[in-house]
Structure 1
């Protein structure tokens, strides 16, 4: 009986991470994606040493200060002329360590950086509740540190995708492209409450309760993510990638509705740019960059190339 209860709890936690796009304590340990370790997983963050390249940009990991708090940043690769720097944003409950193998692969062609948001990974805990605006200020500090005044392409997974899309419209001078990998829906709270009624029981009820709590900021990041309209970031190139394996269908009775609302949420993100494109990673669950890293890498490199060409044309 205890084994059955443990399995149900693990499933709820894993689904909560995906549906909310933000993590609960213990989320990483129970996610299917985290059961796929790679020999290269810790390569980008294993060393605390920094190597300066000829542009003065660091390689490896370092801690930067933001309002007295320590933020863990990791960078790989050298900037190529005419190509923006890629900044990866992890999902809730994750960290730069989760992204390290993917970051290393991307950095064979471009400069790629990632960072632990406050309350995640090796960064300090936030001093209090966070908002999209306050976490965006941390992102600005990271961009200033790793790129100087160079343009960037933001590539976010899950919650990281939502943060990137909320950030870009207000920073069109710096953000020249977006890649959103199974990003949290801009109307996630409404999607969830419509998909799972308050009268639900069992796994669905647990999923509803825990996910809503996280969306309200009851997670280590203390980041509340209220629903909102998708604002435009102009005509920057945007790739929205959604999962193809319908794993949310595992929720008894309400699974198909959750899958449908998730797909609609991905379509809503297309409004972030007049040059947005939606595609499906057919063999992926939530962690697209783990299940099909080549699909995610191709999208990022395409956006970087298009963003670089656009910036040169503007000059």
Structure 2
């Protein structure tokens, strides 16, 4: 994610550490994208069983939410629901969604304030955002179980959602998920006395976590709650790009790793792995690794019935 120039590095790191929708994050991340393996269609097509492929808008609480699906429901298999990181949208997930759709039904959506979905009327909480996710799951999966696979902020949202929806969520894949204690991590590793790039990283990230980004999503720190013994794969980046922050980089990398380890408490069936060739966008840098993890979790969820 790191490009030439201190400002570009700062923007990239802010997007990654916050996992949040700063103005400019979407542009920053799209500049780093590798070509997608394919894109989802714009026109949704019903298959006669209530499922659709392509994209469609659903209404949730009077707001329009953009949803995309690939592939058909497979007997006994959960539906995979992908959650994008902050500053991104479902278009960023198009390649991995298409690949997953070759064997399973895979869907994604733009959260309010992201992509082609409506802007939120006011501040959003994880609870109100969870209601949107529930509506999406109801539309794309019906009564079928789901596996949530989230990147960055999307990983945090998935892990916060699962404990309250154990009847539906039967597996998780967390790809470099935002730490459950992200605000405290930053305040510890980058003091108020810091200067230069570190100041921008600290202050802009904390502002986003307070709900000052386009999604207006307030993301408080909190303990990791258990979602039971569902299969969970936590995947952390292996390329230490956060080390680019002068003076504080080593501490940020250490805190990020500790954050990934904290997410293991979400399930008795969690495992942690490292994507050795990846920076923050694991599913872009190593798509086969990400797809493999999601398919493993989906198969384990199916076997668990």
Normalised TM-score (structure 1): 0.94
Which of 71, 74, 79 is equivalent to 1:77? 71
Conservation of the 8 A alpha-carbon contact between 1:78 and 1:111: yes
- Is it true that 1:276 corresponds to 2:270 in the alignment? yes
CA distance in structure 1 between the aligned counterparts of 2:149 and 2:48, rounded to whole angstroms: 26
Per-residue CA distance 1:220-265 (angstroms, 9 max, x = gap): 0000101000000000000000000000000000000000000000
2:271 is paired with a residue whose SS is: strand
- Is it true that 1:38 corresponds to 2:38 in the alignment? no
CA distance in structure 1 between the aligned counterparts of 2:88 and 2:265, rounded to whole angstroms: 27
Conservation of the 8 A alpha-carbon contact between 1:11 and 1:30: no
CA distance in structure 2 between the aligned counterparts of 1:96 and 1:76, rounded to whole angstroms: 12
Correspondence for 1:68: 62
Structure 1 unaligned regions, length at least 5: 1-5
Conservation of the 8 A alpha-carbon contact between 1:96 and 1:116: yes
CA offset at residue 39 of structure 1?
5.0
Correspondence for 1:267: 261
Structure 2 unaligned regions, length at least 5: none
Conservation of the 8 A alpha-carbon contact between 1:16 and 1:23: no
Per-residue CA distance 1:128-181 (angstroms, 9 max, x = gap): 000000000000000000011110000000000000000000000000000000
Per-residue CA distance 1:83-112 (angstroms, 9 max, x = gap): 100000000000010000111011110000
Correspondence for 2:93: 99
CA distance in structure 1 between the aligned counterparts of 2:61 and 2:260, rounded to whole angstroms: 34
Which of 288, 291, 300 is equivalent to 2:285? 291
The number of residues matched between the two structures is: 302
Q: 1:10 to 1:196 in 2, by over 3 A?
A: same
Per-residue CA distance 1:259-307 (angstroms, 9 max, x = gap): 0000000000000000000000000000000000011101000000000
1:226 is paired with a residue whose SS is: coil
Correspondence for 2:8: 10
How big is the alpha-carbon RMSD for the aligned residues of Structure 1 and Structure 2?
1.1
Q: Displaced runs of 4+ in structure 1, greater than 6 A?
A: none
Correspondence for 2:21: 23
CA offset at residue 11 of structure 1?
1.3
CA offset at residue 36 of structure 1?
2.9
